[in-house]
Amino acid sequence: MTCPVLRRCRVAGLAGWFIALTFAICLQPCSATAEAPLAMSQIAQGVYVYRGADAEATAENAGGIANIGFIVGDQSVAVIDTGGSLMVGQALLAAIRQVTDLPIQYVINTHFHPDHILGNAAFVAERPIFVGHVNLPPALRARQASYLARAQEVLGSIASEDWFIVPQHLVSGREVIDLGRRGLVLEAYPTAHTDSDLTVLDEATGTLFAGDLVFLERIPAIDGSIVGWLAALDRLKGVPARRVVAGHGPASAAWPAALADELRYLELIAQETRQILAKGGTLQEATASVGLTEKNRWRLFDSYNARNVTAAYTELEWE
Amino acid sequence: MKLVIRPVTRYAAKPWRMRLLLVAIGLLCSAPAGADDDLWPDLKEALFPGQTIVSGASFMHLTAPERAYDAAVVPVQIDFDAARMDGVKVRSLTLIVDKNPVPVAAVFHYPTDNLDPSVGTRVRVNEYTNVHAVAEATDGRLFEIAVFVKAAGGCSAPANKAPGEAEAHRGEMRLKRLAEEGRDGPLEILIRHPNFTGMQMDQLTRNYIPADYLETIDIRSGGKLVLSVEGNISLSENPAIQFRLPTGERGGIEVGVKDSNGRSYQAAWPIPPAS
């Protein structure tokens, strides 16, 4: 497989002195991802997961910070999330081709965040059906410009509008798709982590791909509604699964025990924010005090907690 | 007690708005781009032509997070230390986010001179920038203070995280009592309004949503205007205004707002909310 990153760099390299620099920048993501298949774990029969890095997106990890995976049926394959760049998507495709030659029938996006969706472009040539929550296309379009700017800041000019492949098969309630004697149950949730959360349950093995409705070890990020997310957790815990693939954290975790940490965190944020609001506390007071007892329990706490409190405060002040 | 009450129109007068617009256009066209450029000398001259602005650091405090958690909701507070004001009475306070497309976020006008002019609000920040506050005294003197805020993308961030719900509640208001200092403590008015910047994408049509923002927020107590705020696109969605009532003011509170499309909304509370 030719690496498009390298191809572009060679073109840019025609500028002579520019060659060394561009190769130094561009070789890394290619050698780290696109040329080498992602290292997948088979967490259940026919269910493969790549565990994303617990970090912000960087050139080194090429945006490969979310858990992504695929499920192999008798007749076809479904991909669930594609990573934070074309390169991660290509590496995922290479990993799939090490396992099976079956057609990739579905690429399912659990929500619109770039670390889950920007690898879609790597699958276009496979002609899958891209699947997402009914709210996903407008939500992604509204954010596309800022996501693209951020991707270019981190990954360079390789990041392009072509990476924004928007699902055309949209799910608004519950739907079952079949990979050949293997049914996947898709469920669209009301606004929670985002307004476009979609879960995938592999009935054959009881494996739930929860997307970012479930975070493990990495601090949850509220980009939807804290009240909605708590309601979603209440509904999620009734899903008859044996294990969960969280959007971030270990590739596989026991269900529903894996919900406990996130539930504790979100309930604490809601409770402490409501207490601040009840006594007339300001947004500044809330961001300076809410949730701090959770500090040592989550990775990237300092990067996201105050932002989560801002989201919770500006939502709950209208209760 | 001496109350200087001026008609509302004085505060929402067109020349100011025109000036804001010209400043925005002028800067977009003429300012050299670059992260390290200090726009303040040009901005200052455009907003306060020919006037001298001295440091207000001895009695003004501007508080904002050095690194904002959410660039679309950056809390900013300007506090005045009455004991150190040395007779300065504040007539207006201009809040400026230097590098925003429309730098003037809000102008607070104080028709009465027995009011603690300390105020707070939430602003959008489009890129790393200085935030300035300029107080104009009744004798015409100008005082400034600034802080640097690291945040980016606040003006184009999507309008709201749960589309549809906000629109249904447009114009709804809340009056919050902050802290526990009795009736004289700070209050906060919250107004449900998208305060569209003109830089946000419509989620359905993929066109830019036209700017649609609060232009005036008039706060009255006991029927008298106590604070009049000129807003602009740099105020966050669901604008919030923190303020104090004039000393000894005991009347009910009425708030009237008007947006850039001419829609107006009113709310009234019989007395400041009890704890």
Which helix (H) or strand (E) segment is A115 a member of? helix A114-117
Q: Does residue A131 carry a pLDDT above 70?
A: yes
Contact B188 A282 (CB under 8 A): yes
Is there a domain that residue A284 lies in? no
For residue A172, give the CATH number of its domain.
3.60.15.10
CB-CB contact of A95 with A82 (8 Å): no
- CB contact, 8 Å: B141 with chain A? no
Give the chain A residue nearest B208 (alpha carbons).
A142
Residues A43 and A21 in one domain: no
Is there a domain that residue A293 lies in? no
The per-residue pLDDT for range B66-76, each reduced to its tens digit, is 888 899 999 99
Residue A94: both structure tokens together:
């290479």
d(CA B268, CA A162): 52
Q: Please give the share of chain B, as a percent, with pLDDT higher than 70.
A: 81
Q: Facing residues of A169 across strands?
A: A131
Give the lowest-confidence range in A44-53, A135-144, B152-161, B241-250. B152-161
Is there a domain that residue A237 lies in? yes
ipTM above 0.95, yes or no: no
Number of domains in chain A: 2
Q: What pLDDT, on a 0 to 100 scale, did the predictor assign at position B176?
A: 87
Residues comprising chain B, all counted = 275
| Cβ pairs A/B, distance under 8 A | 85
Neighbours of A242 (CB within 10 A): 13
Residues A97 and A194 in one domain: yes
Does the domain made of B8-29+37-269 have the CATH classification 2.60.40.2470? yes
Neighbours of B267 (CB within 10 A): 16
The per-residue pLDDT for range B189-202, each reduced to its tens digit, is 999 999 999 999 88
Q: What pLDDT, on a 0 to 100 scale, did the predictor assign at position B158?
A: 80
Contact A225 B161 (CB under 8 A): yes
The per-residue pLDDT for range A22-39, each reduced to its tens digit, is 333 443 444 334 459 999
Q: How confident is the model at residue B48 (pLDDT cuts 50, 70, 90)?
A: very high
- Domain limits for position A11: 1-36
Domain boundaries, chain B: 8-29+37-269
Question: Best interface-test mutation with B: which of A193, A269, A302, A314 has the largest number of B CBs within 10 A?
Answer: A314
Is there a domain that residue A5 lies in? yes
Q: How confident is the model at residue B250 (pLDDT cuts 50, 70, 90)?
A: confident
Residue A82: both structure tokens together:
């594609």
Whole-angstrom distance between the N-terminal and C-terminal Cα of chain B?
28
Q: Facing residues of B264 across strands?
A: B258
Domain end, chosen from A220, A237, A260, is at: A260
For residue B190, the one-letter residue type is L
Is there a domain that residue A62 lies in? yes
Dihedral angle, C-alpha B243, B189, B231, B89, nearest 10 ° = -10
Q: Does residue B1 carry a pLDDT above 70?
A: no
Give the lowest-confidence range in A9-18, A138-147, A244-253, B249-258. A9-18
Q: Please give the share of chain A, as a percent, with pLDDT higher than 70.
A: 89
CB-CB contact of B260 with B212 (8 Å): yes
Residues A67 and A134 in one domain: yes
Q: How confident is the model at residue B177 (pLDDT cuts 50, 70, 90)?
A: confident
Mean pLDDT along residues B250-265: 93
